[in-house]
Amino acid sequence: MLFFVFVAPACFALDFTAGLGKNKELLLFSKCEMKDWGSDRKLPGRPGPNDKLRLVGSSTLDFDTEANIGILDIWSGTVSAANKNNLKLNKELQFIVPGLDNEGVLSLKKSKMTCNGGVRISCHGGSRSLGKCVISLDDSSLLINRNFVSAFPLDGNAGFFNNKGRRGGIVLDLKGKSLMEIGGSLAHDLQLIDNAKDLTFTVKLSEQNGNIPLLRFEKAANLAPVDVEIELKNAPAKGTHSLIELDYRRQKLEKFRSLKLNGRAYTLGDEFDLGGRTAAIKIAAAKSPTSKDRSTANDLVLEVK
């Protein structure tokens, strides 16, 4: 009698770790040393479509070539950067960001990242303070197919962070011709909602060379606890330009935790001069040709006359 055993390729997924050196390092994805997590065993080759890549220490990992991996795990104190390269994540983008004033950064410049899974932001159990997850897009796109979730463990800190007024949390920093699209829902940890003194979810949208970035949510997204900062210097073409789009028709957009224009508090609907033109930021229906819902007034737009 013959027995056949089939083993799924995912069973052979490896756990690559970069940045284990004691010093601050600039690492190149194409040739830096990577080890197996939890051991000193060097791993050959580069992470593949089923594998996990974890960046630790105080390192910057430069994706100097295109990459197709399973999971990218970014820890506090590290930067994962790409310039003019395309990255694909088949599973998930993760951030582990404990520690006051620490940042875990994903920086894309003239690049594209596609994440077939979701984004998860967390910290170690027992963390008493929270750093920042920073996603920076400069003329780049980040397409996320599933949910964007922050979930911080309650054990060891009784569910409370004390950042001494120096806010940790999440920063989405979009510049120029950038697009960040979240295909799933936006799910906040309750501490981001209840502890505004120490935690923030900040969305920064900066015009660059007349180009306006766009943040789009395809499903439920509560933006009431979000701090929005908009930077405008040059006037784009006349018309209506989307800043934040909510494609889910039942999702209301009425207010933010705070709203600033060029560093100052701004009231929705107030007109201002933008390069000799009259402009205003409003909640209205999106007019962009790529929007899936151009009839519901639940989008943040810039109107230029």
> Global pTM?
0.93
Nearest-angstrom CA–CA distance, 234 and 114 = 30
User: What distances in angstroms separate CA 100 from CA 44, 84, 294, one per listed residue?
Assistant: 35, 32, 42
Nearest-angstrom CA–CA distance, 206 and 208 = 6
Q: Using one digit for the tens of pLDDT, what is the confidence trace for 33-85?
A: 999 987 778 998 999 999 999 999 999 999 999 999 999 999 999 999 999 99
Q: Using one digit for the tens of pLDDT, what is the confidence trace for 127-139?
A: 888 999 999 999 9
Q: Using one digit for the tens of pLDDT, what is the confidence trace for 178-208?
A: 999 999 999 999 888 888 888 999 999 999 9
Given a cut of 50, whether residue 1 has pLDDT beyond it is: no
Mean pLDDT is lowest, of 66-70, 98-102, 140-144, for 98-102
